[in-house]
Amino acid sequence: MPSVLARIPLARLPTPYQRAPRLAREAGLSALWIKREDLSGPALGGNKIRQIEYILGAARAAGADTVLTTAASQSNFCRALAGCAAQAGFGCRLMLRAAGGTAPVGNLLLMRLFGAEISFTDATDPWHPDVRAELEAIAGELRAQGRRPFVVQLPGETAALAAAAWALAGEEFAADFSRAGEPPDFLAVACGSALTLAGLALGFARQAIPTRLLGVSVQQPAARLVPWVSDVCGRAATLLGWDVGDAMARVAITDDQIAPGYALPSQAGLAALKLAARTEGLVLDPSYTGKAMAGLLAAAQAGGSAAFLHSGGAPSLFAQGEAVAAAL
């Protein structure tokens, strides 16, 4: 691995890979496994911890003392970054999109608990170029205070590093699949920035794992994500010094589960969340993993075997308690 990829070890790895026989039966699958990335460790875990190990590694290598990022006000990434920053001795400055609500519940409560310094923005599109300018202005304020900020922008320059972190998990999946006896026909994962999907595509290609990857978008149209994932795969491969051919060959992205919109619960997502809880004791959330499970259940109509990347996100369940309770 190139030395540019400095890592601060935080996650509890490997995360468990477990069978879900009752949910498999309900879904009409011959077998279903859950990759329990929700149990990845610090700050209540999730798919962001593997990425944060390398992000904080890069921040330390750059001599930074504070990480600065932006996302939704109920962002699992910001909650995990705030907690991991506290654990690793960094300050954490967050610019959050006010549209997601400013009440101190769920992830936002945890960000405050971890001591993050928080401001809100009216921006609604994390991919808009103005977002970068707002972040740079905050970085300038921090520098004026004598601090050394490290700007983290997942859809921006941090993308390749975050995808590379997941590409490096390919070896762990190969070991999981080998212990389970065979690779599943497909693996479903929630897609926001789609960096987890991009990394998995690269990691699976590197390990020659035949499993198809189903990205279930919760925010962006598939037409926007497909070229983005392909681009990020290429950049992450360059970062890692890998040449794996066409990583996109095994990737499909559906945007069928986004409605009624990002972070807004859907009937199918809530039904999937309830089913997973009652058949397997899994805690999914309405914004990401509930919708991803709904996508898996829809794809399962074709039969076969599947795996589900449980990417965490439980704190937002508590921020949307009323909608969840109404579906029970």
Pick from 57, 313, 317, 319: which binds ligand PLP (CB under 6 A)?
313
Contact in structure between 195 and 160 (CB atoms under 8 Å): no
Residue whose CB is less far from ligand PLP, 177 or 288: 288
SS (H, E, C) 71-110: EECCCHHHHHHHHHHHHHCCEEEEEEEHHHCCCCCHHHHH
- Is residue 46 near ligand PLP by the rule CB under 6 A? yes
The amino acid at residue 272 is: A
Residue whose CB is less far from ligand PLP, 142 or 247: 247
State the minimum distance, in angstroms, from the CB of residue 38 to ligand PLP: 8
Backbone angles phi, psi at 291, to 5 degrees: -70, -35
- Is residue 47 near ligand PLP by the rule CB under 6 A? yes
State the minimum distance, in angstroms, from the CB of residue 219 to ligand PLP: 9
Per the listing, tokens 């983005």 go with 228
- Is residue 311 near ligand PLP by the rule CB under 6 A? yes
CA–CA separation, 30 vs 252, rounded Å? 21
- Is residue 191 near ligand PLP by the rule CB under 6 A? yes
Pick from 73, 158, 196, 220: which binds ligand PLP (CB under 6 A)?
196
Strands 31-36 and 17-19: antiparallel
Residue whose CB is less far from ligand PLP, 228 or 242: 228
- Is residue 308 near ligand PLP by the rule CB under 6 A? no
Tokens coding 194 = 């789609």
CA–CA separation, 293 vs 35, rounded Å? 13
Angle at the Cα of 129 (from 197 to 263), degrees rounded to 5? 50
- Is residue 315 near ligand PLP by the rule CB under 6 A? no
Stretch that binds ligand PLP, among 19-27, 143-151, 179-187, 307-315 (CB under 6 A): 307-315
Q: Of 76, 71, 156, 157, which Cα lies nearest the Cα of 118?
A: 71
State the minimum distance, in angstroms, from the CB of residue 242 to ligand PLP: 19
For ligand PLP, the binding residues in 69-88 under the rule CB under 6 A are 76-77
Count residues near ligand PLP (CB under 6 A).
17
Within a 10 A sphere around the Cβ of 298, how many other Cβ atoms? Answer: 18
> Which residue has its beta carbon closest to ligand PLP?
313
Contact in structure between 215 and 187 (CB atoms under 8 Å): no
- Is residue 269 near ligand PLP by the rule CB under 6 A? no
Q: Which residues bind ligand PLP (CB under 6 A)?
A: 46-47, 76-77, 190-197, 288-289, 311-313
